[in-house]
Amino acid sequence: MLWPAGAVLLGTLWSISSQDVSPTEFFFAGALLALTIQAYIAWSRARSTRIPVWTLVCAAHFVFYGLAIFGALRRSPSMFDHGSDLSNSVLSEAMLVGIVGLCSMGTGRIAAMHLMGQKSFRLSFLEAEGSRTPTRIQTLLLLGILVNIFGVPFFGTVVWNISMIVFSALPLAAFLWLVLVRRLRKLSQLDFLLATAFLATRAISGAKFNASLGTVVVPLLLVGVADVSLKRKLPWPMITAVACLILFLQPGKGTIRHEMSRGDVGLGMTDAVVRWVDVSISSWGDVFAGRAPLDEQLSATSSRSSLLTMTGLILDKTPDTVPYQLGSSYPLLIKNLIPRVLWPDKPSVNVANQFFQVEYGLTDRQNLMSVSIACGFEAEGYMNFGWAGVVGVGLLVGSVLAIYELAFFSNASTLSAIAVGLALLPGFLTIESQLVQYLGGILQLAFTAGVIFHQGKGKRLSHALPGATQTERLASGSSGAGVWRGSRG
């Protein structure tokens, strides 16, 4: 039913959109949706990995390059263009960047998997042995709860990036570890309380600290995706709930941030949450009462999930106004692997963003310290080498994606490997980042998680958990792919 459902979705979007969507734009949106549907069907039939990562990456491209064409955001973001709209031809070409980039990623992914012979490798991570949760998992969750309440420490120091990973990303991996382990055994009361407190305070922190919607919805989405490793079906109820939550809260985010900057929101734990919900109810109430147009309400969401105008701007001005950069920012990817503690004066990954912001007229040079705007690694590839750059960057990212899938989501992966892989997943779906931020952040988090979650070979589980069912043995990573295929019926 996915194909007719996709056709209905596109038809509905075209009918309710107030924009002049050209046939070419509609066709390109349909192509992106078709690639997403086909990726899901291929994953559900092959069963070579437990999580449909490639499907989610395709879906991200559909949202940022396909779904966005039906929104109201068509104005050039450059102050050099004085608020003029980008033409349909430029926007169509921007959509083509997303399609070419996605196809290149798929090619690189397939090539890398072929070179590795689809081999999966078992990472030495913590395993769900017995009924006791490792102390480091509980410690990470406790740290995460404290950080959710008081904020990430060491802001503005040389250890800021490490602090973000250790105090924010790794507690999320520990939380996902418990989400997966609950399928094997009943959680202890302490584990349940820690997991519940972490999820609740994470939602509160998303509102309290700069109204970050991603902080609120990412854990919920990952909880749903975690179940895919056992159920082999996408969590449509959770995906629908997350989508509705984004649509509900996104329009009020700007208002909340403005009120926070003026000090109009209380400092209590739940003051920001209550105010954000109140603003959202009020704004949607105006829409349903006819006092505000629906397009205006949805434009806030579409503007945050669109790369069309950024990509269109680059296509429009490169190389006539801004010459090709020939990979000038890419060496930062190697430099980014060096901890800032060892290199305090290391160039910031925002250098790539800053060039784009200034040269293409998005931000005045004097405001660069307070604003960071990215254009996506595929558009950045065009900014450096034209269409060859889009293809080259896609091939590189696709090969990295293949290694990531085989390392963390193969049929031989342990629950801990899946949990760490899920914590890395939001980075792979953040396709609006420049390449240095996109791959650099993922590599840093993967290395740190490998250190924290490492388990010596002598402590590894060499057999299935006592009394486990076939599904539970598969979840613990102790069964092979052949057994998994035998359980399909």
Q: Distances in Å between the alpha carbon of 26 and those of 29, 32, 67, 374?
A: 5, 10, 10, 25
Token pair of 62 as six digits: 């559909």
* Predicted local confidence at residue 125, as pLDDT: 73
Helix, strand, coil percent values for the chain (each to nearest 5): 65, 0, 30
Instruction: Evaluate if residue 71 carries a pLDDT over 90.
Output: no
**329: in domain:** yes
Instruction: Evaluate if residue 465 carries a pLDDT over 80.
Output: no
Residue 450 — pLDDT band, cuts 50, 70, 90?
Answer: confident
DSSP-derived secondary structure letter, 81: G
Q: Are 177 and 186 in contact (CB under 8 A)?
A: no
Scored b (16 or more CB within 10 A) or e, 124-161 reads bbbbbeeeebbeebbebbebbbebbeeebeeeeebeeb
Kindly state whether residues 157 and 298 are assigned to the same domain: yes
**468: in domain:** no
* Predicted local confidence at residue 442, as pLDDT: 83
* Predicted local confidence at residue 452, as pLDDT: 83
Q: Stretch 63-83: mean pLDDT, rounded?
A: 88
* DSSP bridge partners of 3: none
* DSSP line for 49-78: BSS-HHHHHHHHHIIIIIGGGGSS--B---
**469: in domain:** no
Q: Distances in Å between the alpha carbon of 294 and those of 242, 288, 415?
A: 20, 8, 43
pLDDT per residue over 130-179, tens digit each?
Answer: 678 888 899 999 999 999 998 888 776 767 777 888 888 899 999 999 99
Least confidently predicted of 48-62, 71-85, 386-400? 71-85
pTM > 0.85: yes or no: yes
* Predicted local confidence at residue 130, as pLDDT: 61
Instruction: Evaluate if residue 458 carries a pLDDT over 80.
Output: no
pLDDT per residue over 388-445, tens digit each?
Answer: 999 999 999 999 999 999 989 988 888 888 999 999 999 999 999 989 888 877 888 8
Separation CA 115–CA 336 (nearest Å): 27
> Mean pLDDT score of the chain, rounded to an integer?
83
* DSSP bridge partners of 49: 410
Number of domains into which the chain is organized: 2
Kindly state whether residues 244 and 326 are assigned to the same domain: no
Domain with 286 in it: 135-302
**486: in domain:** no
Instruction: Evaluate if residue 470 carries a pLDDT over 60.
Output: no
Separation CA 395–CA 434 (nearest Å): 15
Kindly state whether residues 259 and 313 are assigned to the same domain: no
Instruction: Evaluate if residue 301 carries a pLDDT over 90.
Output: no
* Predicted local confidence at residue 411, as pLDDT: 81
pLDDT: which is higher, 228 or 25:
25
Least confidently predicted of 63-77, 332-346, 371-385, 388-402? 332-346
Q: Which secondary structure element, helix H or strand E, spans residue 10, and what is its range? A: helix 2-16
Separation CA 129–CA 426 (nearest Å): 28
Kindly state whether residues 107 and 145 are assigned to the same domain: no
State the CB neighbour count (10 A cutoff) for residue 472. 18
* DSSP bridge partners of 75: 85
302, 319, 338 - which closes a domain: 302
